[in-house]
Structure 1
């Protein structure tokens, strides 16, 4: 998908993730707002000071356009001080629609890019 197609699919809004540092005590990470150019996923990766996406620790479905209060259930323990990268992934390339199939480095349901940059936000667990 081209950048213009991604923006058109998102109703003229560029793909983005807006999230803040937050408590993970409930086992959930929430993005205040996510704009996606197509149906896909908000994926929570571990990260660190190098800002490279690491293992997936949670995900939630996204619909094309603007999504608010997107809650991803964490699939493993995250402790206060851990850095998390909330990233927009596509639904493309997998075997089944509506099933999250991505594993680190795979092409199925992989991250989207705009001008070769990942669409993401980094937060610190509180």
Structure 2
């Protein structure tokens, strides 16, 4: 199964953003980045663990306020290169627990907070 993220625009006023389905090639993370019309991944505002394979209804608790109309990028990151397994260690631009890039492409989808 090819890695992918499936999610729709949603209400995040409860402090949670969800993906309907995420397929990961290995254990890792669904990471929520801020983004905008330029579609570049920005600061991380939440994350949730992923199991290898198909993950259904993956929910990430947001670590800061996200307003209605804000764009969020839900992206698959690996569990590679960090100091600890099971601890999300990525910071923007770092290699620890960084995004996966099959064929050089990020595995992600973008939604708009309602």
The residue number in structure 2 matching 1:97 is 85
Q: Which one of 1, 6, 31 corresponds to residue 19 of structure 2?
A: 31
- What do residues 27-60 of structure 1 show as CA deviations (whole Å, max 9, x unaligned)? 0000000000000000000000000000000000
Q: Which runs of 5+ in 1 are unaligned?
A: 1-12
Q: Does 1:76 align with 2:64?
A: yes
The residue number in structure 2 matching 1:5 is none
Q: What is the CA distance between 1:114 and its match in structure 2?
A: 1.4
Q: Which runs of 5+ in 2 are unaligned?
A: none
- What do residues 73-120 of structure 1 show as CA deviations (whole Å, max 9, x unaligned)? 000000000000000000000000000000000000000011111000
- Alpha-carbon RMSD: 0.3
The residue number in structure 1 matching 2:33 is 45
The residue number in structure 2 matching 1:59 is 47
Aligned residues: 114
TM-score of the superposition, structure 1-length normalised? 0.90
TM-score of the superposition, structure 2-length normalised? 1.00
Compare CA radii of gyration and give the structure with the larger one.
1
